[in-house]
Amino acid sequence: MQGKSISFWSKAGFNEFDPLEKMGWRVKKAPARSTTILLIFILFLGVYMYSNYRIDSNLLTSSTSGNNLLVQTQKTTKIAEIPLNCSAGKLTRTCPTNYPENVSTSSSSTECPNYFRWIHEDLRPWKNTGITLDMIERAKRTANFRLIILDGKAYMEMYKKSFHSRDMNTVWGILQLLRRYPGKLLDLDLMFDCLDWPAIKSSDYQGPNATTAPPLFCYSGNAETLDIVFPDWSFWGWPEINIKPWNILSKEIKEGNKNTKWMDRTRYAYWKGNPSVAPNRREFIKCNVSEKHDWNARLYAQDWRAETRKGYQNSNLATQCTHRYKIYIEGQAWSVSEKYILACDSPTLLIKPIYYDFFTRGLVPMQHYWPIKEKDSCKSIKFAVDWGNDHPEEVQAIGSAASKFMHEGLKMDNVYDYMFHLLNQYAKLLRYKPTIPPKAVNVCSETLACQADGTAKTFMMESMVKSPSDSSPCTLPLPFDSPDLQDLLRKNEESIKEMEMLESRFWENQPKQI
């Protein structure tokens, strides 16, 4: 039926049955006395066909040019998948020329999660000055790579290799964003630093003669730095230690949460990680159970080299939601482990952090986590576990709220939308037209995935965006005004102090030998 016009009011009159005959139907001429019955039948059939085969005139059929991605079906509109074409790219490391340039999408009525408001804060240092080419080039000092997006195509210039595959996984994530929203990302030029800690100190850009800070993208920030915080590489997997992409692992953790009800979980706080990476972790590991003390903590050292040899038999994050409480502590700086811990449906005992990533500023103390003192953390952990075991409903609510935040607020749809809004808001600040540096190369999903193998290839395939989104990104919320932001920070601080006072009173009433 597709492509044939349907009209039930023929110039030749109803008895000629032009509409049905034109559509290929063989219709036996009815005697005049049956005209009324046939008219009713034709009208009924027309309404039925119209409702089931209506074709929106705005939709585009699939095209070999790659520019038009919407295809017509009988009842629904489906966006065609973008195939991964490795036939040529594997040999020549070239990108296909028929990538979609644009896709019609429905407007989004969904507002982004509240933590998206921090996008405006991270870009505030350049709100009045804009971003110049000189600023970009000054950010090269610590950057691992430079990324340029022009007319929907990505170009990368490598400066120095990152630890493991952080750089390639980060670029892979941005390439998936381009597949998700083709033609919707503005031209941009950015520098990216793949270390755990931020590099741009705000104190270096203060005073009457100070220059404007160079914009540098990074995975974390703190109160004393100006780095632009971006989702970390592990959202698309960490092949070197067999951590799956977030779209896969988050579902497995959610299913793992169902295996043991909270009341049936071990009544202690659990942590597993590498204690040797930082002094604070080496001190923290002393909170483990011993002959002299039981601080309600069960802490396990993770030997990644041994795990690699054993095939990661004991490092499946989806099976580690077996204790009533989970502990998060920073390493050298921020740690990717935070999202896996918060997703576990057990209240997270969060040792006071210095650093934040792109979503953690949306967490509220005593709503999404239990704050633990940085100093004297052993006593703080013991109090939290004892209090929680005596007040199970209250602490279960904290664990459930954090788990919901991670599985809904941090689903990959929102991760991509955060990236989209951050990059587009950043691009609007550029005061020059980006160009392709002489040493930059065109990168796309083919140039990365077609060359990969093993676990890296598997994770890329599992995290690859198969087709453009059929709807626009969520709506970016307005920036904080100063009173709102100060009020938010004040309330968070007051909540932490209130818990610390409750803990202090608890220990004041304990025997001195404890």
Reference 188, options 162, 156, 211, 219; nearest CA is: 156
Assess whether pLDDT exceeds 90 at residue 46.
Answer: no
Q: Are residues 426 and 403 in the same domain?
A: no
What is the percent of the chain with per-residue pLDDT over 90, rounded to a whole number? 72
Mean pLDDT of 234-243: 96
What residue numbers bound the domain in which 286 lies?
240-411+487-508
Under 8 Å between Cβ of 187 and 427 = yes
In a domain, 359, yes or no: yes
pLDDT of the residue at 90: 56
Asked if residue 23 is part of any domain, the answer here is: no
Whether 201 and 250 map to the same domain: the answer is: no
Determine, yes or no, domain membership for 70: no
Average pLDDT on 285-312 reads 88
Under the banding of pLDDT at 50, 70 and 90, the label for residue 124 is very high
The secondary element (H helix, E strand) that includes residue 468 is none
Q: What is the pLDDT of residues 164-211, one digit of tens each?
A: 999 999 999 999 999 999 999 999 999 999 999 999 999 999 988 899
Answer yes or no: is 9 within a domain: no
Residue 23: band (very low, low, confident or very high) from pLDDT cuts 50, 70, 90: very low
Q: What is the mean pLDDT of the chain?
A: 86
Q: Is the pLDDT of residue 14 over 80?
A: no
Is 276 found in the same domain as 246? yes
Q: How confident is the model at residue 298 (pLDDT cuts 50, 70, 90)?
A: very high
pLDDT band at 4 (very low <50, low <70, confident <90, very high): very low
Asked whether residue 271 carries a pLDDT value surpassing 80, the answer given is yes
More confident residue, 109 or 16: 109
pLDDT digits (tens, 9 = 90+) for 442-487: 999 999 999 999 999 999 999 999 999 999 999 999 999 999 999 9
Confidence of residue 132 (pLDDT cuts 50, 70, 90): very high
Position 5 confidence tier, pLDDT thresholds 50, 70, 90: very low
Do the domain assignments include residue 14?
Answer: no
CA 245 remoteness from chain centre: 10
Residue 19: pLDDT band by 50, 70, 90 thresholds? very low
User: Exposed (0-12), middle (13-18) or buried (19+): which is 261, by Cβ within 10 Å?
Assistant: exposed
Q: What is the CATH number of the domain that holds 348?
A: 3.40.50
Same domain for 282 and 222, yes or no, is no
Q: Specify the 3-state DSSP secondary structure of 217.
A: strand
Residue 122 and residue 271 share a domain: no
Q: What is the number of structural domains in the chain?
A: 2
Q: Which helix (H) or strand (E) holds 192?
A: strand 188-192
- Rounded Cα distance, 29 and 139, in Å: 81
d(Cα 430, Cα 428) in Å, to the nearest integer?
Answer: 6
Two tokens at 220?
């974390």
> Is residue 27 in some structural domain?
no
- Label residue 9 by pLDDT band (50, 70, 90): very low
363 and 248 in a single domain? The answer is: yes
Residue 249 maps to a domain: yes
Average pLDDT, integer, range 19-36: 41
Do 401 and 343 sit in the same domain of this protein? yes
Of residues 106 and 62, more confidence is placed in 106
Is residue 118 domain-shared with residue 229, that is, in the same domain?
yes
- Domain match, 229 and 277 both: no
Judge if 251 and 374 occupy the same domain: yes
Please indicate, yes or no, if residue 7 is contained in any of the structural domains: no
What confidence score (pLDDT) does residue 88 get?
56
* Whether residue 268 sits in one domain with residue 331: yes
Do 120 and 213 belong to one domain?
yes
